[in-house]
Amino acid sequence: MFAKDREELIGATRALDRVLMWNHYVVPMWSINVSRIARWDRFGKPDKLPEYGLGFPEIWWFDEAKAAKVGPQK
């Protein structure tokens, strides 16, 4: 932030990176308010899901009709 030129900024950034990586720190840069999951559409779920979670797998169920549309698991 207080670097006088680009070379000094790069050096300071690399030094900070070495310090953080040595101690295995994680510095989050951003976050989103959604959860991304990939799944086969073989499950049924309630119309209203919990406000702070997916409810998966506790309140989802296997739906035979949806599974027949998708086909056999590979």
Q: Residue 61 and residue 70: Cα distance in Å, rounded?
A: 16
User: What per-residue confidence (pLDDT) applies to 26?
Assistant: 66
User: What per-residue confidence (pLDDT) applies to 58?
Assistant: 82
And the tokens for 69? 């549309």
pTM of the model: 0.40
Where in the chain are the domains?
A: 6-70
User: What per-residue confidence (pLDDT) applies to 5?
Assistant: 94
Stretches in the chain below the pLDDT threshold 70: 24-27, 38, 73-74
